[in-house]
Amino acid sequence: MSIQLSRFTPGDTDALVDFLTGAEWPFHAGVQDAAAIRRRVEEGRYDDAENRTFWLLADGERAGLVRLFDLTDGTPMFDLRVGEAWRGRGLGTAAVRLLTSYVFTEFPEATRIEGSTRKDNVAMRVVFLRCGYVKESHYRESWPAPDGTVHDSVGYAILRRDWQSGTVTLPDWDDEPTPA
């Protein structure tokens, strides 16, 4: 299967609205609203100096969406959505590898890339690990779901130097001070 990223343009707005409102996104916060998506496109939140959005193409078909944000602060973040029909086929891993290479190639000031997911999104957590990302945070009861349930969230990141060398540097988890 051929996987590639294709940059979003405002001419893709209707397709974006259809993609985001036409599927269930069980591990994403909030409900997708067509008017809000259109407003965000008009505001440049899908493509401007801070944000870039790409279609994830699988054999030429739109199979997912990658949104990069905070591109100018040295620590970009991303949101990844894989369409229901394409889940479980390795597209998440391919997409994260592509976006990691893209960010570190196109943004020389980027020193790391971050992503977060719900604790129960095991598939995405495995994608992070396969792509050399390291768990750096765990926030208890911080991710509200539409049904009112609040889930733990976990954050992962990759350092530019680890990406370049193919290594994984783990955080120092043994730095807690002793309470007096």
Q: What is the pTM of this model?
A: 0.91
Residue 173, in any domain of the structure: no
In a domain, 170, yes or no: no
- 88 is a domain residue: yes
- Domain hosting 62: range is 3-165
Residue-by-residue pLDDT tens, the chain, 180 positions: 899 999 999 999 999 999 999 888 878 766 578 999 999 999 989 999 999 999 999 999 999 999 999 999 999 999 999 999 999 999 999 999 999 999 999 999 999 999 999 999 999 999 999 999 999 999 999 998 878 899 999 999 999 999 999 999 999 888 889 898
Q: How many domains does the chain have?
A: 1
Looking at the domain assignment, is residue 101 inside a domain? yes
Q: Mind spelling out the 3-state secondary structure of 103-147? A: HHHHCCCCCEEEEEEECCCHHHHHHHHHCCCEEEEEEEEEEECCC
Per DSSP, the residues of 9-29 read: -GGGHHHHHHHHHSS--TTSS
**Is 64 inside a domain boundary?**
yes
Candidates 18, 5, 15; CA nearest to 54 is: 5
Residue 117 placed within a domain: yes
CATH number at residue 22: 3.40.630.30
